[in-house]
């Protein structure tokens, strides 16, 4: 059933993700009714605790249940460091609920069906561990032999938060060049999407960012519910 005017809840752990996902909806699904829920203490608390604890998982479940009570038809979390908490949230509601990077990982693996070397660049370091687990689990399920290489763009997120977008993009591009021999390079955070053209200009391999992949996958799923 096609549902172009579906109500989609976008749940953020940083305000920096709001604009990139909004732009992706504008490109691929402008008819969707969007609601934004922001708890910017989540990223701060995770960075301080260095782990996902049960209390934080419950916060994700509460956010998903609240979004569902508003009548949303689907939920997209835009915070890439919270995979297990998002899985718990998805289990607690009866609508399609997406992790931010799942669709991007699917696209990367589709480009390397037999396996290969994938690169992942992050501006929020705690996201790398959980994302690596998620990606490698997907690869094993597909029988793909994947080597994952990761890189952290130090202080790039702070640059973006303080209005220095050019410096943010350049720092990401510089660290991405260390992954230049990968088959695909992925940008971990939604907030990195605007840097993709500069990153791609410095690499021969494809560069993927998550917002566009996520919106297209969510729309396809909602249309078939």
pLDDT bucket at 224, cuts 50 / 70 / 90: low
Residue-level pLDDT at 3: 61
Enclosing H/E stretch for 35: strand 33-38
Q: How far apart are CA 175 and CA 42, in angstroms?
A: 26
Inform me whether the pLDDT recorded for 1 exceeds 50.
no
C-alpha torsion sign, points 49, 39, 164, 195:
positive
What is the chain's length? 225
Q: How far apart are CA 137 and CA 119, in angstroms?
A: 16
Q: Which two tokens stand for residue 223?
A: 């249309």
For a pLDDT cut of 70, what percent of the chain falls above it? 97
Phi, psi (5° rounding) for residue 68? -65, -40
H/E run at residue 8: strand 7-12
Q: What would the mean pLDDT of 143-147 be, rounded to a whole number?
A: 93
Nearest to 16, CA basis, from 159, 150, 175: 159
Could you give the domains of the chain? 7-100+212-223 (3.40.50.1860), 102-209 (3.40.50.1860)
Instruction: Name beta bridge partners: 12.
Output: 38
User: pLDDT by residue (tens digit) across 78-137?
Assistant: 987 788 899 999 999 999 999 999 999 999 999 998 889 999 999 988 889 888 999 999
Angle value at C-alpha 221, between 215 and 225, nearest 5 degrees: 140
Say which DSSP state 31 is in: T
Of 201, 211, 152, 210, whose CA–CA distance to 180 is shortest? Answer: 201
What span, in angstroms and rounded, lies between the C-alpha atoms of 105 and 62? Answer: 26
Q: What does the pLDDT read at residue 79?
A: 87
Is pLDDT above 70 for 225?
Answer: no
Cβ atoms 61, 88 nearer than 8 A: yes
Q: What is the token pair recorded at 23? A: 């732009």
């Amino acid at each position: 059933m096609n549902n172009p005017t579906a109500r989609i809840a976008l749940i953020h752990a940083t305000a920096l993700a709001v604009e990139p996902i909004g732009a992706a909806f504008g490109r691929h699904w402008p008819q969707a009714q969007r609601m934004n829920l922001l708890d910017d203490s989540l990223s701060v608390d995770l960075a301080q605790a260095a782990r996902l604890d049960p209390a934080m998982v419950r916060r994700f479940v509460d956010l998903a249940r609240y979004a569902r009570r508003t009548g949303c038809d689907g939920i997209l979390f835009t915070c890439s460091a919270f995979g297990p908490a998002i899985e718990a949230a998805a289990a607690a509601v009866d609508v399609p609920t997406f992790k931010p990077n799942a669709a991007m990982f699917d696209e990367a693996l589709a480009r390397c069906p037999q396996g290969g070397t994938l690169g992942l660049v992050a501006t929020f370091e705690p996201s790398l561990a959980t994302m690596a687990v998620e990606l490698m689990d997907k690869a094993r399920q597909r029988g793909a032999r994947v080597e994952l290489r990761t890189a952290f763009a130090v202080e790039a997120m702070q640059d973006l938060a303080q209005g220095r977008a050019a410096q943010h993009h350049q720092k990401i591009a510089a660290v991405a060049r260390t992954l230049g021999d990968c088959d695909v390079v992925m940008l971990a955070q939604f907030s990195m999407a605007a840097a993709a053209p500069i990153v791609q200009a410095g690499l021969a391999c494809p560069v993927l960012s998550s917002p566009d992949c996520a919106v297209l996958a969510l729309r396809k799923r909602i249309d078939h519910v």
